[in-house]
Amino acid sequence: MSDRVHIVEVGPRDGLQNEKTAVSVADRIAFVEALIGAGLTSVEVGAFVSPKAIPQMVGSAEVLRGVSHHTNCELPVLVPNERGYEASQAAGAKLIAVFAAASESFSRANINCSIAESIDRFKPVLARARADGVRVRGYISTVLGCPYEGEVKPQAVVDVAKVLWDLGCYEISLGDTIGVGTPLKARHLLRAVAGHVPMAKLAMHFHDTYGQALANLYAGMEEGCRVVDSAAGGLGGCPYAPGATGNVATEDVVYMLEGMGIVTGVDMAKLVAATNVVSGLIGRPPVSRVAAALNAKRAAK
Ligand code: HMG
Ligand code: MG
């Protein structure tokens, strides 16, 4: 467990995409800057999706342009189709993420097409990205359960993971979109997918709806997975996953890892400060237990 863990901060995208209060481009740029200032080296900055579907991500081009001077950081953006790819390239994206699902109903609700159709949409995106030297991450949603269909079999995840990997995604991020997974299921899933995609190329993207995300991450780490998606303050959710709450909080992940002797390079005080600013903007306190504890400690001084 003593080796490195790579954290992909998804707060400015997953964290804000479901908030009732839209956060301005200037404030999103400041949020990304604060996260990078706290030591995070991968920060997902936005999404080139339909403004009708996700109005919160309007202005992602400006956000990306506003932070792209951080050439030593990965700044991924979500791309659902060729139109999104073109917009991402006009904004200078060097790293994009396509997003599929392991369950048909969620695929339909989220991106208005079947899983097979979504793969057909991604094929030209991946081909163009390869030609343009753009790296592509592949997300799979509903890997441990679907809001519409319930249980999702690991084989369904394996099938999609294999396709995305064969198409050229450099990393596959496994999304427990509604946070229903438990540690043994997470472990079983990682083992199943790692039979087809190298464990080093898998990421854990666990929402914390049922309070299981840290335990699931730990189980995945025991299997050898070393990439964790998280959101500052525990922000997050997906409009097409009713009831689903935030991603596992970056503060909680950093606290756990550092406590295990794993150096993250993240400055906790700066991270909590970034979280507090965005919490003020959206008008609610951070969900992160660690941020809440540190804020309480500071207030008591
Ligand atoms: P569609 O209706 O099938 O596509 O939507 P369409 O081609 O028929 O276009 C419909 C409208 O969207 C048209 O506009 C297009 O111009 C426009 P209209 O004529 O109605 O004014 N459009 C676009 N606009 C901007 N950028 C584009 C684009 N493409 C079409 N790229 C589509 C398909 C995917 C576009 C739509 O369903 C969509 O944008 N969905 C949003 C999905 C989304 O962002 N979900 C949240 C992120 S995924 C997530 O959170 C899960 C994850 O965190 C992992 C996990 O936790 O599981 C990654
Ligand atoms: Mg998510």
- 103 Cβ inside 6 Å of ligand 1: no
The pLDDT score that the predictor gives to residue 1 is: 64
Residues in the chain: 301
Centre of ligand 2 to C-alpha 98, Å, is 12
223, with CB counted inside 10 A (0-12, 13-18, 19+), is: middle
Ligand 1, atom nearest to 141 Cα? 57
Rounded CA separation 168/197 (Å): 11
Q: Give catalytic status of residue 225 as yes or no.
A: no
pLDDT digits (tens, 9 = 90+) for 156-186: 999 999 999 999 999 999 999 999 999 999 9
Centre of ligand 1 to C-alpha 95, Å, is 18
Q: What is the pTM of this model?
A: 0.97
7, with CB counted inside 10 A (0-12, 13-18, 19+), is: buried
The one-letter code for the residue type at 301 is K
Centre of ligand 1 to C-alpha 2, Å, is 40
Residue with CA at minimum distance from ligand 1 atom 34 = 111
Residue 10 in contact with residue 44, Cβ under 8 Å?
Answer: yes
Residue 290 in contact with residue 284, Cβ under 8 Å?
Answer: no
Residue 263 tokens read as 């150096």
pLDDT digits (tens, 9 = 90+) for 97-150: 999 999 999 999 999 999 999 999 999 999 999 999 999 999 999 999 999 999
Q: Mind listing the domains of the chain with CATH numbers?
A: 6-300 (3.20.20.70)
Residue with CA at minimum distance from ligand 1 atom 49 = 238
- 58 Cβ inside 6 Å of ligand 1: no
Centre of ligand 1 to C-alpha 98, Å, is 11
DSSP 203-214: EEEEB-TTS-HH
Query: Please, what sign has the CA dihedral across residues 204, 56, 98, 130?
Result: negative
Residue with CA at minimum distance from ligand 1 atom 16 = 50
- 81 Cβ inside 6 Å of ligand 1: yes
- 17 Cβ inside 6 Å of ligand 1: yes
The pLDDT score that the predictor gives to residue 146 is: 97
Residue with CA at minimum distance from ligand 1 atom 25 = 50
Q: How far is CA 60 from CA 14, 44, 63, 127, 205, in A?
A: 13, 10, 5, 23, 21
- 46 Cβ inside 6 Å of ligand 1: no
State the 10-residue block means of pLDDT for the chain, 301 residues long: 88 95 96 98 98 97 98 98 98 98 98 98 98 98 97 98 98 97 98 98 97 98 97 87 87 97 96 97 93 95 85
The pLDDT score that the predictor gives to residue 255 is: 98
DSSP, res 254: H
Q: Nearest ligand, CA of residue 117?
A: 1
The pLDDT score that the predictor gives to residue 2 is: 60
Ligand 1, atom nearest to 173 Cα? 54
